[in-house]
Amino acid sequence: MFYLTRMLGRPVVDAAGEVIGEISDVAIATGEVFPRVTSLAFLGPTKTPFMLSWRKYVSTIDDEQVVLNAERQDLRFSYLQPDEVLLARDLLNKQIVDTQGMKVVRVNDLKVSESRGQLRLLGAEVGMRGILRGLHPSVERVVAAVTRLLGRELPENLIAWNYMDLLDRDLSHVRLSVTHKRLHELHPADVADVLEQLPPTQRARVFEHLDNVQAALTVAELEDEFQADLIDDLGDQRASDILEEMDPDDAADIIGDLPYDKAEALLRLMGVKEARAIRSLLGYKEKTAGGIMTPEATTVSDDMTVQEVIDYLRTGAVEHETIYYIFVVEDDRRLEGVISLRDLVMSEPSTPIAALVNREVITVGPDDDQEDVAETISKYDLLAVPVVDESGRLLGIVTVDDALEVMEEESAEDLQLATGSSSEQGPVASIWWWLVRRSAWLVIWAIAFVVFVAVRGPVTEMAPGNPFRGPFAVGLEMAVLALIMLPVLLRTAEELSSRTLAELIEGDTENGHPTVTRRLAREGVVGVVAALVAGVIALGLASAAPGTEQVAVAPFALVTAVATLVTVLIAGLLGHVALKRSAAGRRVSGTGLAVTAMAISTTLYLLLAFASGVLWVATLVAGLD
């Protein structure tokens, strides 16, 4: 077995034993299940690239070198053929899509095997072993040995070549590993999951390998933020063909997010019927029934029989989004009633439709809020609800899958409203807010530590004759010592803020939230226990600290206990205010709540520690006088 990363750089020796270069790459013919190595690329002494036929000139290969069967002057160089791929140039360190795991992985190495005098490619290594081997083979061996000592194995994650598709030899940064199915055989939702992990340029290349029908289904499964960008990156004709295949409501959502010129160009390229349906939907407001409905409702007249309706469904309603409900309308599309598909197929063919119509139809208006529409579908266990105008004309239907998307979207918005996370998004703020949300207490502690250490030096170096040197120096020593205990208070504040967020997310309880008095009393019990524990820890810390004779041990422990109790009470009070704001429909920032509680706690604790040191020295001086 050989690995490409180990082969690269090996000397190339001719039949006379002269080193004529070192391996820079090897080529394979792509038309085989396990393709054979067909060419050897190497760099000559002056770094000049050469290529030789592997079958014609390579005699042997081992861990040390490649030996040719001819001398330098007898070699005849060749060129890369159309069906050949260079492994290092075209595959190594490139991305592939693992369609079994639905994730994007990187080719870290390539494994080849010698068989019947030929070298054949087995597959791509996409695991940790390939990364370690690329650093140095000894690194791989050491890590593998360590993992074995820990009772585990460092696995080789190999994707066989026969499960890989080449998209484009020259420009491909994406290779598809299809461990079970080819790309076109995957469910559109699975293809969408893969596409969302790729950069835009690679996403477009993968998209080129889908036909219009599967492309339309895949676009519908993409998250909203990807849909318009992907369509915008495609050529106008291809984009128009895909949108034409989509349900009108999904296509209208995408068209509405495109620039005006692009949207108009795509609509002009569509069929008249499809463009008219999409334009009609674009006239409705967002987040309304009209904005999420599809005009493709299956309609019949009440003078038809069951057999006539079934015949119509087989021919005229093939492209409709759903046919679980058949709506009975008059000539002007005024809604008269509805028939379920179950009632239709269970009735005799000669039965008049008028005998099956349910005229008590639950409807919604085009301007109704989409959340109310979703709740209606959920409440009455409907698969679709008709949308009618003021005169009772059927405009379209909202299907249950649209309702589910609305409920998911509204739930996410409610969560953002409760936690304030929506205000913490954006390309500039995302990294900072990620750090603060994940480790707010650590950020605040680090800032406080830097500030106090910077201030401590100049103050403690004051001239000995300065009467303020003693109190200020000890006060700062107390504050610096408090920095060591500060993470305890910060974590306490963060934990209490997280509990408040949990109440915000869960919503109002049956008995409502407790009053501010009850909340502070409840938190006070917790605070007293936390204060006692923190005080004991602070007492031990101060006693063991260097220069204990200059530090007021007992006052420091007392200050720590008081600060902990006050932190708990402040966090409880802020939590109560946050719950009130949320109940009033106002936005509450979860990160802001935690940071505010921690900032107040930090300021209070350090000031109390500093003040206790100053007062302690002043008291000693007064006692001596």
**What per-residue confidence (pLDDT) applies to 202?**
64
Higher pLDDT, 508 or 596: 596
Q: Please report, to the nearest 10 degrees, the dihedral formed by the alpha carbons of residues 279, 281, 287, 288 taken in order.
A: 140
Q: Is residue 65 left, alpha or beta, with left meaning phi > 0 and alpha meaning psi from -120 to 50? A: beta
SS3 106: strand
SS3 364: strand
Pick from 291, 101, 287, 285: which is nearest to 181 by CA?
101
Cβ contact 346:413 at 8 Å: no
Average pLDDT over residues 100-105: 60
How far apart are the C-alpha atoms of 73 and 75, rounded to whole Å?
6
Cβ contact 66:58 at 8 Å: yes
Q: Which two tokens stand for residue 393?
A: 């004309």
Burial of 184 (0-12, 13-18, 19+ CB in 10 A): exposed
**What per-residue confidence (pLDDT) applies to 116?**
63
| Across 224-233, 359-368, 470-479, least confident range | 470-479
Which domains are seen in the chain, by residue range? 2-164 (2.30.30.240), 181-283 (1.25.60.10), 299-419 (3.10.580.10), 430-624 (1.10.357)
**What per-residue confidence (pLDDT) applies to 503?**
67
**What per-residue confidence (pLDDT) applies to 386?**
94
| Across 193-197, 238-242, 467-471, 542-546, least confident range | 467-471
Higher pLDDT, 503 or 602: 602
SS3 401: helix
pLDDT at 573 over 90: no
Query: Which residues is 352 bridged to in the sheet?
Result: 305
| Across 171-185, 346-360, 595-609, least confident range | 171-185
How far apart are the C-alpha atoms of 217 and 89, rounded to whole Å?
34
How far apart are the C-alpha atoms of 488 and 445, rounded to whole Å?
10
Cβ contact 86:107 at 8 Å: no
How far apart are the C-alpha atoms of 63 and 72, rounded to whole Å?
22
Q: Residue 328: enclosing H or E segment and its boundaries?
A: strand 325-329
Average pLDDT over residues 568-586: 79
pLDDT at 213 over 50: yes
Cβ contact 429:327 at 8 Å: no
pLDDT at 49 over 70: yes
How far apart are the C-alpha atoms of 271 and 430, rounded to whole Å?
42
Written as one letter, the residue type at 388 is: V
Written as one letter, the residue type at 463 is: A
Structure pTM?
A: 0.48
SS3 620: helix
**What per-residue confidence (pLDDT) applies to 23?**
92
Q: Is residue 173 left, alpha or beta, with left meaning phi > 0 and alpha meaning psi from -120 to 50? A: alpha
Q: Which residues of 280-293 are buried (b: 16+ CB within 10 A; e: fewer)?
A: ebeebeeebbbbbb
Residues 70-81: tens digit of each pLDDT: 998 888 888 888
**What per-residue confidence (pLDDT) applies to 324?**
82
For 555, what's the count of Cα atoms within 13 Å in the CB-facing half-sphere? 20
pLDDT at 452 over 60: no
Phi/psi at 602 (5° precision): -65, -50
Written as one letter, the residue type at 215 is: A
Higher pLDDT, 342 or 63: 342
Alpha-helical regions (H) of 79-177 = 87-90, 128-135, 137-149
Average pLDDT over residues 17-26: 91
Higher pLDDT, 608 or 548: 608
State the CB neighbour count (10 A cutoff) for residue 543. Answer: 13
How far apart are the C-alpha atoms of 108 and 83, rounded to whole Å?
23
Give, in order, the Cα–Cα distances in Å from 562 to each of 290, 462, 471, 520, 538: 59, 31, 21, 15, 12
Q: Which two tokens stand for residue 93?
A: 């360190």
Cβ neighbours of residue 361 closer than 8 Å, sequence gap 6 or more: 335, 337, 338, 386
Q: In the structure, what pLDDT confidence band is assigned to residue 468 with cuts at 50, 70 and 90? A: very low
Per-residue 3-state assignment (H helix, E strand, C coil) for 441-508: HHHHHHHHHHHHHHHHHHHHCCCCCCCCHHHHHHHHHHHHHHHHHHHHHHHHHHHHHHHHHHHHHHCC
How far apart are the C-alpha atoms of 493 and 516, rounded to whole Å?
18
**What per-residue confidence (pLDDT) applies to 394?**
94
pLDDT at 509 over 50: no
Average pLDDT over residues 444-473: 56
SS3 38: strand
Average pLDDT over residues 15-36: 85
pLDDT at 351 over 60: yes
pLDDT at 388 over 90: yes
Q: Which two tokens stand for residue 40?
A: 């050897």
Q: How many helices (H) and strands (E) does the chain have?
A: 23, 20
Residues 280-293: tens digit of each pLDDT: 888 888 889 998 89
| Across 389-398, 429-438, 571-580, least confident range | 429-438
**What per-residue confidence (pLDDT) applies to 427?**
41
Average pLDDT over residues 609-615: 82
| Across 16-25, 363-372, 393-402, 489-498, least confident range | 489-498
Residues 144-192: tens digit of each pLDDT: 887 777 777 777 777 766 556 544 444 344 444 443 345 566 678 877 8
In total, the chain counts a number of residues equal to 625
Average pLDDT over residues 56-71: 88
Written as one letter, the residue type at 38 is: T
User: What is the distance, to the nearest Å, from the Cα of residue 524 to the centroid of all Cα atoms in its chain?
Assistant: 40
Residues 126-149: tens digit of each pLDDT: 878 888 887 777 888 888 887 777
**What per-residue confidence (pLDDT) applies to 614?**
78
Highest-pLDDT range among 270-279, 362-371, 426-435, 533-542: 362-371
Largest Cα–Cα separation, the chain: 116
**What per-residue confidence (pLDDT) applies to 223?**
84
Q: Which two tokens stand for residue 116?
A: 């019947």
Q: How far apart are the first and last CA of the chain?
A: 88
305 DSSP 8-state letter: B
What's the whole-number average pLDDT of the chain?
Answer: 78
- DSSP output for 521-589: HHHHHHHHHHHHHHHHHHHHHHHHSTTGGGS-HHHHHHHHHHHHHHHHHHHHHHHHHHHHHHHTT----
Q: In what order do the strands lie in the sheet with 103-106?
A: 103-106, 95-98, 174-177, 164-166
Q: Which two tokens stand for residue 486?
A: 């500060």
